[in-house]
Amino acid sequence: MSRRARLLVFGLGAAGLAVMFAFAVAGMPPFGTSEHLYRDLAVPAALQHRTANVVSSVNFDQRALDTLGEEVILLSSVIGTAALLRPTRGEVRRPTTRGGHVSDSTTLVSYLLLPVTVLIGLDVVAHGHLTPGGGFQGGVVLATAVHLLYLAGRYESLERLRPLTWYVWTEGLSAASFAVIGLVGLAQGSGFLANVAPLGSFQSLLSAGTVPILNVVTGAAVAGGGVVLLAQFFGQAIGTTRPPTRRSTS
């Protein structure tokens, strides 16, 4: 289609959808009312399982099946990216180059922040059932921490300190453990992904049953997945090159 025809079709469609959406939004309940059916169900359910962070209770207890699905989506994207960015026959490893300059202050700050970031990540994961945060958020922080190495120095030092296979295994095993913890509930007769661990006492570190366990598992999966994912892009952008073809040399 010509540019104009495309814009016309798009404009007509977008205008139609906008009218429909306006009608739909007009039918929404007013903002900020006290009436909310799911909240009225979810908060008592969270308290019943001694989970202080209700959002975590919804994510890892009440609707844990959704979270299993989401974690597997992440796993699938990581495997998919690894498959799509794998080195092809035409690509070879780029020879190591010394070059690029990193200022000393950047290096220093990166090294200082590395342990802090790891600690924050672990903290966010470990307290997911008590305070805002959890496995997904903490996992992203942990994956970020590893890449401070890249900021601090050269790509090779990151590569040396990052046995990628381990991260692949972490990711695969932790995604599998999420499902297996679910199956434990099934085997005990309480239902798939049921909260079968001892509930502990409210607001203490050891409370909420399986919620912190699933948080840790998710944190590991997300951290492993994040590292593997970024490694693929790094590998494609920095680590490999295409040997010059005849056309590009002439």
Partner 1 sequence: MYRGLASDLAPLAVALPIVMACAVLVVQRWASRRLADLLAMVAAVAALGLSAALVAATKDGRVVTWSGGWEPRDGRSVGIVLVVDQLSAGFACLAAGLTCCALLYSWRYLEAAHGHYHALMLLFLAGMIGFVLTGDLFNMFVFFELMGVSAFALTGLHIEEPDSVQGSLNFALINSLGAYLSLMGIGLLYARTGQLGFAQLGAKLAGHPADGLIVGAFVLVTIGFLVKAAMAPMHFWLADAHAVAPTPVCVLMSGVMVEMGVYALARVYLTVFATSIPAPVVQRAFLTMGLLTAAVGSLMCFAQRHLKRLLAYSTIAHVGLFLIGFALLSPDGLAGVALYVVGHAGVKGALFLLVGLLLDRFQSLDEGKLFGRVGGRHPACWMFLLAALALAGLPPSGPGLGKAITEEAASAAGYPWLSVVFVLVSAVTGAAVLRAGLRVFLGRGHRPGPIEPAHQIGAEPKEPETEHPLRRTPLTMLVAIGALLAGSIVVGVVPALAQAVGRGAVFFSDQAGYFNQALFAVPAAPAPASAAWWSWSGILLGAASTVLAMIIAGISLHVRPPERGHFRSRMIAGVELVRRLHSGHIGDYVAWLLFGAAVLAALIGLPLLP
Residues of span 155-174 touching partner 1 by CB under 8 A: 165, 168-169, 171-173
> Does residue 246 interact with partner 1 by CB under 8 A?
no
Q: Which of residues 184-213 bind partner 1 (CB under 8 A)?
A: 185-186, 189-195
Q: Which structure tokens are listed for 206?
A: 């050891």
- Segment interacting with partner 1 (CB under 8 A) among 26-34, 95-103, 130-138, 141-149: 26-34
Total of chain residues touching partner 1, rule CB under 8 A: 76
Q: Which of 47, 80, 96, 242 binds partner 1 (CB under 8 A)?
A: 80
> Does residue 233 interact with partner 1 by CB under 8 A?
no
- Segment interacting with partner 1 (CB under 8 A) among 132-140, 141-149, 182-190, 199-207: 182-190
Residue 111 or 234: the one with the smaller Cβ distance to partner 1 is 234
- Residue 189 zone, left/alpha/beta (φ > 0; ψ -120 to 50; rest): left
Which helix (H) or strand (E) element contains residue 92? Answer: strand 92-93
User: Which residues sit opposite 93 in a β-bridge?
Assistant: 240
- CB distance 114 to 107 below 8 Å: no
> Does residue 180 interact with partner 1 by CB under 8 A?
yes
Cα 148 from Cα 4, distance rounded (Å): 47
The one-letter code for the residue type at 170 is T
Residue 61 or 141: the one with the smaller Cβ distance to partner 1 is 61
Cα 15 from Cα 25, distance rounded (Å): 15
How many of the other CB atoms lie within 10 Å of CB of 169? 12
Instruction: Tell which residue, 184, 207, 205, has the closest CA to residue 196.
Output: 184
> Does residue 88 interact with partner 1 by CB under 8 A?
yes
Q: Which of 109, 113, 114, 176 binds partner 1 (CB under 8 A)?
A: 176
- Nearest approach, Cβ of residue 184 and partner 1 (Å): 11
